[in-house]
Structure 1
Amino acid sequence: MPEFRMIDTGPVRIRTAVEGAGPLVLMVHGFPESWYSWRHQLGPVAAAGFTAAAIDVRGYGGSDKPTDVADYAMEHLVADIDAVAEALQPGAPAILVGHDWGAPQVWNAALTRPDRFRAVAAMSVPHTGVPSRPFTEVFRQAFTSKERFFYQEWFQEVGPAEAEAERDVRDFLRKFYYAISGDAPPGTWPTKAAGASLLEGMVDPDPFPAWLTAEDLDYYVAEFEASGFFGPISRYRNHERDFAWLQSFRDRRIEQPALFIGGTKDPATMGFGAITDPIGIMRPHVPRVEGHLLDGCGHWTQQERPEEVNRLLVDWLGRLG
C-alpha cells in the first residue's frame, strides 16, 4: 500500500496516496471511484522515477465532504488539485493524470493554471474546448425533451439518486461498473423513458469481469458505505456554475504536452454516440495531444487495461523531459 497523507487545502483536507520520489505525477479519479482506481499505476509510475500520487476527490473516501452542492463546482476541485500539487512539490509545475470526471478536472486545471501544470494526461473524456452552453442544456435537448432517460438528469435532484445508490452499495456499484465496461454486451446500459431511476433495467453480472476482483469491490463498497454519495453525485449538479466559471477562458487552448487514452466501447469517449473521432475533435483545443484508442475497452480505462495504459503512460512521461 502507498503512504497516505492528509493535505489541508484550506477549505478541505484531501487524502492522498503517495509512492516514489521524483517529479510529481498527480492522479485524479472519477465517479464512482477513489484513489484506489489508480492502484495499478502508482507503482509503475513511481518505478519510472516519479512521485506518483492519487487523491480522493473531495466528497470521496478519506477526504473531507462539504455539505453544499456548490462546494463541488469545478472551480473548487481545480483549486484542490493545485493545493495538493503545491504541498507535494512546492514551486515546481506538476504533471496531471485524470479519468472520467477526473479528466475534466485535469483538463481544466491545465487550461486555467498553465503555470502550475506542465503536462496533462486524461482517460475516457476528451477535451472539446470551453463549453458554449451548460451541459444540462445539451442533454435535455438530446434526451429529456424527447422523453428519453439520461443518467445525469436523474442525478440533478438531491435525494432520490443518493437513496438509490446507498440502499445497497454493492448492488449499485456492480451494476454501474459492469454496464459501461468493455465486457458488457450491447444494450446492457438500458434505453428507457425519462423519469426512470438509474438502476431500472440494469444487469448484475455473475461472474463479474476479472478486472475487478472481489477484494477490489470490497474496498470500494467500504469507502462508499462510509462516505455516502451526496458529494460524488453533486459533481453533476454544477454544470451551470462550471459553465459560468470557464467563460473567461474561452479564447485559451491547452498548450502543454497532452496524452489521451480512451476505449472504443466507452460511451464517454465517444460522446454518447455524438463523436466519431475523439482525438481529432480535441486537436483544435489541445494541439499537442497524443491520442490512443484501446479497441474493445470500456469506460474503466486504467482498471480494465492496466498493462496497456501503464505502457503508454510511462512511455509518454519518459518523453516529457
Structure 2
Amino acid sequence: MPSNRQVRLNGINIQISEQGEGPLVLLVHGFPETAYSWRHQLTALADAGYHAVALDQRGYGASDRPDGIDQYSIFHLVGDVVALIHELGEEQAVVVGHDWGSIVTWNTALLRPDVVRGVVGISVPPLPRGPLPPLTLSERKFGADFYQNYFQEPGVADAELDKDVASSLRRIYCGVPAAEPSPGFAGKYDEPETLPSWITEDELATFVEQFTASGFTGGLNYYRNLDRNWEQTAAWQDVPITPPALYISGEQDAVRMMYPFDDDKRAIVPNLRGVVDVPDCGHWTQQEKPDVVNAAILAFLQGL
C-alpha cells in the first residue's frame, strides 16, 4: 500500500504518496484530480521494481495553496517537480503526467532535460509555443465561452464548482453532455444516476473529501497563468523536448479533438519512443484503463 507524507519544497508543503524501491518514477496529476488518481499505477510500478511517487500538486489535496495567482506559473510547477526529485535523493527521474500534469512533465523535460530520464504524457500532447497567446487562440478557435477562457475570472468558476463538490465532480468525471446545459463548466454535463465502471462511489467520495477541503481555486489558477506562461517562455520557442518520450491517449478523449497529435507536435519530440491509443477510453485515462496504461509505462521504462 502507498504511504503518505509531506515534504518541504520551494517554501511550501507538498503531499506525496509513495510505494516501492528502485529507480524513481514521478506521477503528476491533472485537473480536477489529486495524487489519488494514480492509485492503480503506484502498486503496479512498485511491484515492477520502481520507487513510484505521486504528488498532490500545489493548490491541490493536502498540499499548500499559495494565495497569489502568479504562484502557479509553469516555472513554479516545474520547480516543484525538480525539487521533489532532488528531495527524494535522486539526480533524475522518469516523469509521467496526465492532463495538466502532462503539461508540467513535458515542460519539465523541455526546461530541465538533465533531470528527466524519460517523459510520458497522457491525454495532453506536447504543445509547441504558438504565434499568439493561448487564450487568444482558444477564443478564436472555440469561442469566448470555451472552458479555459471561462476559468480566467477569479472567483467565478471557483464558486460554481465549490457550490456542490460532489455534483461537480460527478458531472465532470462522467462527462455526459447535458440536454439543456446550464451556465458554467460542470453545467455542460448532466449528473449521472450511476457512475461509470472505472470509479466506485467510495473512490469518488475520496476526491469529494479532498476538494471539499481544498476547493478548486488552486487548480483553476493553473489556467489563469496560460498567457503568462506563453509570455515568459519566449526563450524556448521551437526548442525540442529531447528526453525519450511516450504519448498515451484514450481514443474517445475530447482532448484529441482539441489538440490532435499532428506533425507539428511530433516534430518537437525527436526521441519519441511510441504512441499508445487506448481503445474504449475517454479522458481519465489511467483511471479508466489502468492495465493498458500500466503496461505501456512499464514497456517504456524497460526500454530506457
Name the SS for the 1:293 alignment partner: strand
Contact 1:264 1:270 in 2 (8 A): no
Name the SS for the 1:270 alignment partner: helix
Which digits, 9 at most, give the CA deviation of each residue in 1:39-84, with x for residues without a partner? Answer: 0000111111110000000000111100111111111000000000
Output the TM-score relative to the length of structure 1. Answer: 0.90
Return the alpha-carbon distance in structure 2 between the equivalents of residues 111 and 95 of structure 1: 13
Name the SS for the 2:254 alignment partner: coil
Return the alpha-carbon distance in structure 2 between the equivalents of residues 136 and 22 of structure 1: 41
1:190 to partner: Cα distance: 7.2
Name the residue aligned to 2:287. 303
Greater Cα shift, 196-205 or 4-13: 196-205
Q: Which runs of 5+ in 2 are unaligned?
A: none
Greater Cα shift, 262-271 or 27-36: 262-271
What amino acid is the match of 1:2? P
Name the SS for the 2:256 alignment partner: coil
Name the residue aligned to 2:138. 139
Q: 1:109-124, aligned counterparts within 5 Å? A: 109-124=108-123
The runs of 4+ residues in structure 1 deviating greater than 4 Å are 189-193
Which residue, out of 156, 161, 186, partners 1:160?
Answer: 156
Name the residue aligned to 1:268. 255
**Cα RMSD after superposing both structures:** 1.7
2:215 counterpart of 1:228: yes
Contact 2:46 2:52 in 1 (8 A): yes
Return the alpha-carbon distance in structure 2 between the equivalents of residues 219 and 43 of structure 1: 18
What amino acid is the match of 1:169? V
Which digits, 9 at most, give the CA deviation of each residue in 1:148-206, with x for residues without a partner? Answer: x3111221111111111111100000001111xxxx5xxx167979xx32233421112
2:266 counterpart of 1:283: yes
Instruction: Give the percent of matched residue pairs that are identical in Structure 1 and Structure 2.
Output: 40
1:140 to partner: Cα distance: 1.3
Return the alpha-carbon distance in structure 1 between the equivalents of residues 155 and 69 of structure 2: 12
Name the residue aligned to 1:24. 24
Q: 1:1-321, aligned counterparts within 5 Å? A: 1-90=1-90, 92-144=91-143, 149-179=145-175, 184=176, 188=177, 196-271=183-258, 275=260, 278=261, 280-289=263-272, 290-320=274-304
Contact 1:279 1:291 in 2 (8 A): no
Residue 190 to residue 197, structure 1, CA distance change in 2 (3 Å): farther
Contact 2:179 2:190 in 1 (8 A): no
What amino acid is the match of 2:284? W
1:287 to partner: Cα distance: 1.4
Which digits, 9 at most, give the CA deviation of each residue in 1:99-153, with x for residues without a partner? Answer: 00000100000000011112100100001323332210111112335xxx31112
Count of aligned pairs between the two proteins: 303
Output the TM-score relative to the length of structure 2. Answer: 0.95
Which digits, 9 at most, give the CA deviation of each residue in 1:256-291, with x for residues without a partner? Answer: 1111100121111332xx63xx16443210012111
